[in-house]
Structure 1
Amino acid sequence: MEQRNQTPVSEFILLGLSEEGELQPLLLWLFLSMYLVTFSGNLLIVLAIVMDPRLHTPMYFFLANLSFVDICFTSTTVPKMLWNIQTQSKVITYTGCLSQMYFFMLFAGLDNFLLTVMAYDRFVAICHPLHYTVIMNPKFCCILLLVCWVLSVLDSLLQDLMVLQLSFCTQIEIPHFFCELNQVIQLACSDTFFNNLAIYLVSGFLGVLPLTSILFSYSRIVTSVFKISSSGGKYKAFSTCGSHLLVVSLFYGTGFGVYLSSAPSQNSRTTAIASVTYTVVTPMLNPFIYGLRNRDIKLKLGSNRRVNVWTSPVLYETE
């Protein structure tokens, strides 16, 4: 047994969402369509914001970064899955698996922190509108973005280095469509106590705290919105908050369900399906919730009408 623990692993087998052959063409076209929608929609948001100086404000600065991160986030997992389905190969190299885990955790962390920063931006805009331009100045926004990157890089690097210390047995099949951290650790023959401890601690610190900040920000926003006399203003505010909180619920709900499940190995297929929600569906919803229904971006794409979003910080308005 000790000898088996030291057997080097050169590749893993990704079992995917389903092993039924007749479902593979359906999965191929379904995920290809979702990926193209995610890529093109988020790219359109980034280009619209970058090319229009009128949208160079904190709100759209973070939105552009979120769209860029969502493109990278989805591109970390979906293209490899599509390639495996097309070539009928389920193999991913050991190095490729570690790289996929690193970038997946990196962009997942960035998504997490950017959602938090966007909630804080709206909190300042709604609850402290007179101080908005002073608080959310360009330097402070860049610092917030830098902090998001640093924390995400450190987290993904820590988790990846800890996986490097593990040894694996001959069982190298991952019941998932990508190298998900929990599933890879389940295959290790060596002691995984510290790996599991790190997952729980990091998930608590980098997951619960940002989520608490988001809920606090939006509770304060809701309190402020109730003070608005205009019914139309209340409707737009609640509509936007509801859309954002829907994305937050999908992202955090399925994410915590995967990483904090008490028995992930017993529900591997359920875990894989739940992962689709926050790895594919949530990034795909971003262009619709924050972009295509956004009044200022629609004006940018559809007309030359001028809007001043810097001096009038509003919610991600929907029509």
Structure 2
Amino acid sequence: MFRTAFTGGTRMARLGVRYQSTESPSATSALSFKKHLRQRRFGPPPAVRKPTVEDAVSNILYNTPTPMDGPPTRHILNCLVQNEPGVLSRLSGILAARGFNIESLVVANTEVPDLSRMTMVFNGRDTQIEQARRQLEDMVPVWAVLDYTTTKLVERELLLVKVSILGPEHLHEQMPTAKFDQSVDFADENIAHASSSSQKTLNPSDTLRETFSHLRALTELTRLFDGKVVDVSSDSVVVELSAKPGRIDSFIKLCKPFGILEASRTGVMAMPRAPVHDHSDLQAADDDDDDAVDLTMLPPG
């Protein structure tokens, strides 16, 4: 019995593992013992080869994750198309198939009789926009597709808005759909009539004075936005405004307290700005051209 214990202890000593009692084994010693047995059974772990320059370059080129696409941005495409039937539906179908929601679309003739200019504004990612632009260029009636997203532009949009001058309390009566909205119950009509009769009726002169103040405020607001009043009636005015889309939105927000009856917007029309050349730079370029030597006029050798 003592021989068996001594033989086991000698074997444990040969393996280089510190012997401990089986009653309170240590986790660290057990893991080290298993690791030592595995090394004796399977041999030492293979040496890791140092990466070469080719391996490092291949890892950078092929294992680097592609950058994530940013949020959708606003894009403006200008298409020069042949003036023929069905072009608009085909171009809009290509964009609809890719999931683009067209915010603005303006199509009109150009100075050339058979050529039309189409300006489209929509939101999307850069890679998807480039694919759609190439697909639009492959169409037969399309001459060219220009991306004005990063170009300095002159953007204009025309707005025609009809605004009430009687006040927001009379807005429902002035709406075009007011005559079709007659589904009020008889009891409700009696209640409304009783409440209106209990209120103090306004003097016609007060109503006229209030209407005139609204008209003057709208005229001043239109003048500040460089617009003009194109029609005046007893209860509303029609304002014409040509400006940037953001300025159009601001004007509509300011007109809402008066009461907007109708509004019509044409959409964005864009044209790139012409570059401004400095006169000194042009003069320097001309001087450089004059100093250049024509090699064809030199003698041989």
TM-score under structure 1 normalisation? 0.20
Which has the greater radius of gyration? 2
> Which of 1 and 2 has higher RCO (CA within 8 Å, sep 6+)?
1
Q: Which has the higher strand share?
A: 2
TM-score by length of 2: 0.21
